[in-house]
Amino acid sequence: MKPKSFDYVRVDTLPALFAALGAHDNAKIVAGGQSLVPMMNFRVAQPEVLVDINGVEALRHVVREGAVLRIGALARYRDVIDSPLVRDSVPLLVAALGHVGYPAIRNRGTLGGSVVHNDPSAETGVALCCLGAELVVASAEGERVVPIAEFFVTTYLTDIAPHEVLAELRIPVPAPRTGYAFREVAKRVGDFAIVNVAALVAVDTRGATTAVSLALGGVAETPVAVDVGAALLGRPLDAARAAEAARLVDAAIDPQDDNVAGGEYKRHLAGVLVKQALLAAHEDALAKGA
């Protein structure tokens, strides 16, 4: 349980980061280290150089610009959960991140690290998928913006090159009268989810559903967004509508057996949690829309 020997470089600016990444073939960025360091101890990851970006202040911001919340990739779960700005503009994210690990992990781990790592049941990715976030990926050549659904390739693999860094998460702030819910079943508090579901439901003044967004974790190699609009739009959301949406989800997913749970159970759980999340999000929207 000891890592292979590696070199360590600490950088404080993005140019220094890009220089360090350019100078080494097998370099790996370390931020919170909550996934990478255990993988190194298991020798699953064997980087030759660890580039520590914890000093790069330019990646730590949490700001709102108009209808977009911009979160630096180095922001820690704790920074985001405790931010009044996030709580007011994207409460779904706060609800989701409350399920991440334990206080020690939330104090150290970063949102950017979670997204780049892509554990398919990680709460960060599921919430960001539901919110339709965009990611800013930076390198010495400049920046590119990637929709989150395209960023996730498969388990533990994302659309990022060795010389790039995930710089920022851009989250559209949901419209007024949008309710949210996050539901998760894990074996224990703080464990990786078996299945989790994030939902946003917007209503008009009469309570009819005008927009819905739904994402699930734990049911595929990446977080999965499912379009359930056909079942819900234009009508109030009740138990029968939620069940119809759950049927759409059931048809859209194909969860496999893994070390956490069997595919059949995950499918069952997806149905239960989708119904719960949609009804709760709708109720929340009604409360906001009054």
Partner 1 sequence: MLHAAMLRSPHAHARIKSIDVARARAMPGVHAVLTGEDAKQYWGPLPPTIDIGMKVPTVYGLATEKVYYMGEPVVAVAADSRYLAEDALELIDVEYEPLPAVTDTEAALAPGAPLLYPDWGDNVQCEWGMAVGPVDEVFAQAAHVFDYRIPQHRYSGVSLEGRAALAQFDAYSRKLTLHCSTQSPNLVRTLVAQTFNFPEHDVQVIAPDIGGGYGNKLQADAEVIPCLLSLATGRPVKWTESRQENLLSGMQCRDYVWYLRVAVSRDGILQGLDAKVYGNVGCDGTCHAAGAGKFLVACGYVPGPYKWQAFKVSTKVAVSNKAPSGAYRGYGKDIANFPLEVAMNRMADALGISPVEFRRRNFIGRDEFPYQQISGPIYDSGDYALCLSKLLDLVDYDGVKRRQARQNDGTGSRYLGIGLASMLEPSGGAVPNCIFNSYEVATVRLMPEGGILVLTGHQDIGQGTETTLCQVVADELGCTPDDVRIIYGDTNAVPYGMGPWSSRGATFNVSCVAEAARTLKRNLIEVAAHLWQCEATGVDIAGGAIAEAGGERTLTLKALGNQLHLWPGAFGIVPKHVTNPFEATHYWTSPIASWAPDELGRIRLYSTHPSGSSAIVVEVDAETGKIEVKDIAIVDDCGVIINPMIVEGQLHGGYVQGIGGALLEEFHYDERGQLWNTDLTSYLHPLATDVPAIKCDHVISPSPYTALGTKGMGEGSAIMPVAVMVNAVEDALRPFGVRVSELPLTPERVIALLRTSPRWREMYGAPA
Which residues of the chain form contacts with partner 1 (CB under 8 A)? Answer: 1-5, 38, 42-43, 185, 187-192, 194, 243, 246-247, 250-251, 259-262, 265, 267-269, 271-273, 275
Cβ atoms of residues 201 and 179 within 8 Å: yes
By beta-carbon proximity to partner 1, the closer residue of 137 and 274 is 274
Least distance in Å: CB of 268 to partner 1? Answer: 6
Task: Give the pair of three-digit tokens for residue 122.
Answer: 């990680």
**Mode of pairing for the β-strands spanning 178-186 and 193-203:** antiparallel
Helix H or strand E encompassing 269: helix 263-289
Contacts of 188 (CB under 8 A, 6+ apart): none
The rounded distance, in Å, linking the Cα atoms of 4 and 208 is: 58
Helix H or strand E encompassing 114: helix 111-117
> Strands, DSSP E only, in the chain?
7-10, 27-30, 49-52, 62-65, 68-72, 134-139, 142-147, 152-154, 157-158, 165-172, 178-186, 193-203, 209-217, 224-225
Least distance in Å: CB of 68 to partner 1? Answer: 35
Q: How many residues are there in the chain?
A: 290
By beta-carbon proximity to partner 1, the closer residue of 57 and 254 is 254
Least distance in Å: CB of 274 to partner 1? Answer: 9
- Return left, alpha or beta for 49; rule: phi > 0 is left, psi -120 to 50 is alpha, else beta: beta
By beta-carbon proximity to partner 1, the closer residue of 118 and 210 is 118
Q: Which amino acid is at 35?
A: S
By beta-carbon proximity to partner 1, the closer residue of 152 and 192 is 192
By beta-carbon proximity to partner 1, the closer residue of 173 and 243 is 243
Least distance in Å: CB of 110 to partner 1? Answer: 19
Cβ atoms of residues 120 and 223 within 8 Å: yes
Least distance in Å: CB of 180 to partner 1? Answer: 20
By beta-carbon proximity to partner 1, the closer residue of 148 and 195 is 195
Least distance in Å: CB of 107 to partner 1? Answer: 17
Cβ atoms of residues 147 and 104 within 8 Å: no
The rounded distance, in Å, linking the Cα atoms of 250 and 24 is: 45
Least distance in Å: CB of 38 to partner 1? Answer: 8
By beta-carbon proximity to partner 1, the closer residue of 119 and 164 is 119
